[in-house]
Structure 1
């Protein structure tokens, strides 16, 4: 009797979104390490005679130019496909925003595997990035995951389910990153380093795609809850507004948009350069160290999750955002002066809560608009972040290339400054919120 119950429970778990999430993130972390090492190897002999750069600086310029173009393609091409997939999902095709992007993930992983096996030029990955973007990419996949998690849970359990998804995402990234460097050093026959790593990555994405087509169940829980419960001011002290307002608070929306764009630009620009920065002297990381470095980045998912659990009991959402921004600003500023691997991990340890701000900003944003406008508001924020990438990706890349010879870490200082600027509109939202709550209490009385 116990065995059938266990089998039924296991089958129920397999039909949820979490196994797909874990398989995809494991495959993605393996791919990220492989891409970094392949880019480093293929850019090793890059030369720029007219600029009189040293060999290492030429390699850094070639790597940063590749990532600039690659990331711009990934930022821009998913916008329309993601909107179309989101519309399909809202019309009842809930698995479309999961299945289609996963096919793009698989194709891009296979493309890098072919680059390694057949010694193809690195520019092939630009075509792979286009295919990835046209499938919707992360821009469609992540909202699709969150939508399935959301509609499959009750309103009271929703935040818990969301946090569990984030936790699994970070844990899978941590495990995959730790293993990726060691797998990269394995090779089969004469195919070279990275073939086994990329083969495993492609297989994991194939499994996640098959799982999403065959096993994934779309379960929708009724939203209706007792009216008394929906009006209870739970966590009233930690939110700007407990209930969704009748109208749109345009001032708070604009301030939250500004904070999100500034912080997103700071994080995106710094992370893009960080992948190149660790390859140059004095760090000069190998594949194993790259994997461990990526694992340190994934660890931030776990520490940010724990930070929300601990701090949410005693501080407001605005303070949560400020804590996360301060964590990132201090860590990335220290990264400017990193000259040894242990210093890199010290800087990363200051980023413990760096992933708190963006989800909390989205939560606050949803509280400033009616429920009927929540979807379009959050989608608009995502598009604003995408278009911001048009500015910060080339800007950070060119600044890094211009400062290579005198202060390579200058872009991280710049990122820290952008983060501090992003704290200003959030602080204004915090100053506005107590007045609003007091006014609502007077009206209620």
Structure 2
């Protein structure tokens, strides 16, 4: 068991608790949207159809996902600048506040029968606080700064593993918790209340209990390349290609996976809360395959091969999903898709570490060359001074 002082310097408890709470929220939101859209559609149409209900759900998630993706962009940039000034807790604490507020909004929707459109306000608050991109970037930056160069990739993979295991556990339990209700509590109240409570615990832990660990000496080495024209700083084309690849990746993967949310709610699947939780849990298994895939497969195949395997597996899995007519077929498709992250989510981090190491070695070599050149100049200056002094005496 870790000593209390050491445990207070670990961010893993926050990641674990927050991801369990997030899994509770995802299942709760999915079921509440299904119920609310069904009620609204039935009230508007005398003869509601399954397609009209699916359209209402799709419209809601389209707006909700766009707000969750676009609103956090500027706040995340601002929070990253604040983090660079040395306030490492800020990019984690502020998003947790947004998470807490958005979860409270869902709880109010359930308890007070508010329209589901109230969630748009919650997701805007969540986005203005930096959202997931700021929160996770803050966590990864903290892990990177507090680890040595040799074990940094391993620590990041361990953090991803904690994230995935927490999501897996939370999703498996969430469906059962959603169905708990009584005369005084509506269905979903217990689940979302637990989500709110866990986020509150994360916020209190981060603000008052978590201690910022000291930055490892190797983290300071990043400043060695400042002012030096390294190959990395000149290679703007590769940076642009990375951005383009990231955007295309998110459009393909994110868009495809979001469609599955509404697909699960209609025929032929028409899942209940328990099945939704199990389906979300299947998605979190990617983090386990990521850890195993990077640790095992990278020994025998190249980086490019791993990336190609990931892209092909996702394309095959999402194509298979188009023909799903039963729950077992859905899980088969998920199993195929799962391999995409096994070879893409963690592999680039190891590559970046290798490239960074090469850049640092190049920078050190240039420093040594400059020092040698300066030393030679000083020796030459001393020789000239000696010659001039000898000439004067003569």
Q: How does the TM-score come out when normalised to structure 2?
A: 0.83
Q: Secondary structure at the match of 1:70?
A: helix
Q: Deviations over 1:99-154 (max 9, x none)?
A: 00001111111110010000000111000011000111101100000001111100
Deviates more, 1:79-88 or 1:361-370: 361-370
Q: Secondary structure at the match of 2:319?
A: helix
Relative to total residues, which structure has the larger helix share, 1 or 2?
Answer: 2
Question: In structure 2, how many angstroms separate the alpha carbons of the residues matched to 1:183 and 1:24?
Answer: 17
Contact 2:153 2:353 in 1 (8 A): no
Count of aligned positions: 351
1:304, CA displacement in angstroms?
Answer: 1.6
Q: 1:299 aligns with which of 285, 290, 304?
A: 285
Q: 1:146 aligns with which of 104, 121, 140?
A: 140
Aligned to 2:344: 357
Q: 2:245 aligns with which of 259, 267, 271?
A: 259
Aligned to 2:17: 23
Deviates more, 1:293-302 or 1:310-319: 310-319
Contact 2:294 2:346 in 1 (8 A): no
1:52, CA displacement in angstroms?
Answer: 11
1:13, CA displacement in angstroms?
Answer: 2.1
Q: 1:254 to 1:210 in 2, by over 3 A?
A: same
Aligned to 2:275: 289
Q: Given the alignment of the two structures, is residue 336 of structure 1 paired with residue 322 of structure 2, yes or no?
A: yes
Q: 2:312 aligns with which of 312, 326, 329?
A: 326
Aligned to 1:160: 154
Contact 1:29 1:180 in 2 (8 A): yes
Question: In structure 2, how many angstroms separate the alpha carbons of the residues matched to 1:224 and 1:266?
Answer: 35
Q: Deviations over 1:256-292 (max 9, x none)?
A: 3333222211111011111100111010000000000
Q: Deviations over 1:154-207 (max 9, x none)?
A: 010100000000000000000000000000000143331100000111111011
Aligned to 1:109: 103
Contact 2:167 2:281 in 1 (8 A): yes
Larger Rg: 2
Q: Deviations over 1:28-77 (max 9, x none)?
A: 00000000000000000344999999521111000010001111111111
Aligned to 2:216: 221
Aligned to 1:192: 186
Question: In structure 2, how many angstroms separate the alpha carbons of the residues matched to 1:209 and 1:283?
Answer: 37
Q: Deviations over 1:2-35 (max 9, x none)?
A: xxxx5x6244124311000000000000000000
Q: Which of structure 1's runs of 4+ aligned residues deviate more than 6 A?
A: 48-53, 365-372
Aligned positions of 1:60-71 closer than 5 A: 60-71=54-65
1:301, CA displacement in angstroms?
Answer: 1.1
Q: 1:367 to 1:183 in 2, by over 3 A?
A: same
1:305, CA displacement in angstroms?
Answer: 1.6
Aligned to 1:134: 128
Aligned to 2:68: 74
RMSD over equivalenced CA pairs, Å: 2.7
Q: Deviations over 1:369-420 (max 9, x none)?
A: 9999xxxxxxxxxxxxxxxxxxxxxxxxxxxxxxxxxxxxxxxxxxxxxxxx
Contact 2:16 2:163 in 1 (8 A): yes
Aligned to 1:429: none
- In the alignment, structure 2 segments of 5+ residues that lack a partner are 225-229, 360-394
Q: 1:42 to 1:49 in 2, by over 3 A?
A: closer
Q: 1:131 to 1:371 in 2, by over 3 A?
A: farther
Question: In structure 1, how many angstroms separate the alpha carbons of the residues matched to 2:271 and 2:217?
Answer: 51
Aligned to 1:430: none
Aligned to 2:371: none
Question: In structure 2, how many angstroms separate the alpha carbons of the residues matched to 1:55 and 1:320?
Answer: 44
- In the alignment, structure 1 segments of 5+ residues that lack a partner are 1-5, 231-243, 373-445
1:323, CA displacement in angstroms?
Answer: 1.5
Question: In structure 1, how many angstroms separate the alpha carbons of the residues matched to 2:7 and 2:258?
Answer: 35
Q: How does the TM-score come out when normalised to structure 1?
A: 0.74
Aligned to 1:94: 88
1:359, CA displacement in angstroms?
Answer: 4.3
1:363, CA displacement in angstroms?
Answer: 5.8
Q: 1:251 to 1:367 in 2, by over 3 A?
A: farther
Question: In structure 1, how many angstroms separate the alpha carbons of the residues matched to 2:151 and 2:64?
Answer: 38
Contact 2:153 2:349 in 1 (8 A): no
Aligned positions of 1:23-62 closer than 5 A: 23-47=17-41, 55-62=49-56
Contact 1:260 1:361 in 2 (8 A): no
Q: 1:371 to 1:78 in 2, by over 3 A?
A: farther
